[in-house]
Structure 1
């Protein structure tokens, strides 16, 4: 698929769409800076807001310090995986993340009514094996391409509610309430949320007869998959100990290559509201330092 300037542009919502070429200069900040400076935290979160992800370099390979770093953003969100988690591919949870299998590009917690906002990963070690390269895809750019190249399929993925579930844990069986949610949500004509994990898709039994054929022959889903898996869309990189990646789970899809050996990772989820509240507070602080008026409406 040919790259165009349109898909690299800044959207009206302030999002910078990106392709695989972002690997030449991915957004990043320095660990020591964000630990010691609120201005650096603002730069960090502005990167996440603009690009949907940001790397933090120079992080000590220590779960406690990784957790401290995450709490520089906001509160950690508790889920059935725990709060701050550390894991290996041991099937401690009935989830493909706890295996060494390849994972295609997806977003997490599609089976929540409120999917987790940010996802944070830190690879602590990888020994006795190889592989496991990380994958990121800009879901907003992918949705924009689908809208331009295959508008009917784009409309199907905006209109069709997809039930999702997670039933791998004995204590918790998750399923979205009612008929599910669309894969693509828009606001003001721009993509505003991607909710997609093919492994979480549940039984579709609520659709009108006229919608069944295009969905079940996977026309729209196949078009979506082709855009996501295009070499132009996929940013592959080898995550190393000492580098943390923060991902906007409402926008950027992530995945990984199959691997051998033993891997240990740690990380956490942060709620979207909490992350944005921190970003807005830091923006207000920066404006106040410059002697300008608050970004908030004076009636507040």
Structure 2
């Protein structure tokens, strides 16, 4: 059966060791001292307070430095004037079409303060002075913006929201009984069809697309419905056989264990699509393998926390060193700028990337593997591969003309069985950022409340139920939709 994993970020982070050992916070003595602001008082305009149940502006403990907001329940949070000026969304400070900052942040005076601050049921209005920095004008900040981005102290914390991975379904081979699938016609004919396709990829890490004409042209048109094709040393859109082109085992008949592609890139490719163009009678074997890497990482953490900790912290070298070609006579000599672990987590303890290819791994050694660490790492690797190679984890399928498979290369590992005969494939990469951008846009268009984003919907609920705040920015157009 499919299983849904929901883990609050704060609990997950507390249970595992720090993800990065190379970015320690410097001691207080080594950090630069804060520049003190001027103590010259300013006038706080009479506030039109919001209803008693809503947030309101109160006299700050240090009114020279910033403002203080009181929320329902009595808690308070403060904002510095520099922060407010830096985050103004009026047109002179923030382009309404491009949503890019126009204010030159380093030029905001460190002792900058307004002439007046007032509030009403919608939010806070700050009147900035006429000065050498700028002419006078007024900024508006919705209560929802201030509550979402409060920092002194924060009023919405990660533990208040669902895990970023809570909408993902972790699967085993049992998913073969109900594979996520869309049709070529629906993807090609409507934006809603593209949304349904990307939604499945986001949820399961992969999706099939059936009913594709058996041509490379139709397949290329399909993947371009998502975004631009990413060009690499393999080219853009591929149409290939087992001819060892590019000096890579993908262009051979040998078995490939479950792996992610382009581990040797500083920015690995996001999506990968394959479509078989040769009939099944042309070859034997060559079955496709998929493994849910996020589920594997979760299982490793639950069953072998020490192995999980090592694979989440020890950086692994990767490379691509294939022979030259007509376009690259000097050969391929790819190395990422930064070595990263197999399992990569964000600052909230959320798994964001699995990066593992045993065939493309470089030489492990040096300080990162000093002492007993090397033997421990090999033991961790055996535990990891034991999960990846278990019958339960592996989804095998026979590829066929007319049905393509697309998967998230940062989550789902893929492989294939060995084959004999002639086997022709086509496909391409898409950048992960382009894919996620496309998904966000379609979520807004078709996702309903919260734009299909569970965390956004949960944030709206916290603001509404805990503080009586609705997300809105009347009179300010669309610049307040995302609070970028």
Q: TM-score, normalised by structure 2?
A: 0.58
In structure 2, the residue matched to 1:184 is 343
Residue from 389, 406, 410 that aligns with 1:246? 406
Q: From the superposition, tell whether residues 104 and 213 of structure 1 become closer, same or farther in structure 2 (CA, over 3 Å).
A: same
| Residue from 300, 308, 319 that aligns with 1:165 | 319
Q: How does the TM-score come out when normalised to structure 1? A: 0.92
Query: Would you say 1:85 and 2:247 are equivalent positions?
Result: no
Paired residue total: 292
Q: Out of 217, 240, 244, which is 1:64 matched to?
A: 217
Deviation readout 1:187-220 (Å, 9 max, x if unpaired): 33342210000000101233232412212xx200
Distance apart, 1:92 and its partner CA: 1.0
Structure 2: 5+ residue runs without aligned partners?
A: 7-162, 325-330, 452-470, 473-477
Q: Which residue of 1 aligns with 2:100?
A: none
SS at 1:174 equivalent? coil
Instruction: Show CA shifts across 1:142-170 (max 9, x none).
Output: 00000000110000100110000010132
| Partner of residue 143, structure 1 | 297
* Alignment-derived partner of residue 214 in structure 1: 376
Task: Report whether the alignment pairs 1:109 with 2:262.
Answer: yes
CA RMSD of superposed structures (Å): 2.2
Q: Secondary structure of 2:423's partner?
A: strand
Assess, with a 3 A threshold, how the Cα gap between structure 1 residues 273 and 260 changes in structure 2: closer, same or farther. same
Shift of 1:289: 11
| CA displacement at 1:295 relative to structure 2 | 12
Shift in Å, 1:298: 4.8
1:144/1:191 contact within 8 Å kept: no
Which structure ranks higher in relative contact order (CA pairs < 8 Å, sequence separation ≥ 6)? Answer: 1
| Cα displacement (A) at 1:284 | 1.4
Question: 1:124 matched to which residue of 2?
Answer: 277
Q: Which has the larger radius of gyration?
A: 2
Paired position in structure 1 for 2:184: 31
Partner Cα distance (1:266, 1:290) in 2: 37
Residues 228-273 of structure 1, C-alpha deviation per residue, up to 9 Å, x if partnerless?
0010000001010100111100000000011111000000000000
**Distance between the aligned counterparts of 1:197 and 1:290, measured in 2?**
37
Per-residue Cα deviation, 1:108-163 (whole angstroms, up to 9, x for no partner): 00000100000000010144431111000000000000000011000010011000
CA distance in structure 2 between the partners assigned to 1:213 and 1:91 by the alignment? 34
Q: Distance in 2 between matches of 1:290 and 1:190?
A: 21
Kindly indicate whether the alpha-carbon contact (under 8 Å) linking 1:284 and 1:295 is maintained by their aligned counterparts in 2. no
1:235 is aligned to 2:395: yes
Separation in structure 1 between the aligned mates of residue 253 and residue 404 of structure 2, nearest angstrom: 20
8 Å contact kept, 2:365–2:374: no
In 2, distance between residues paired with 1:71 and 1:128? 28
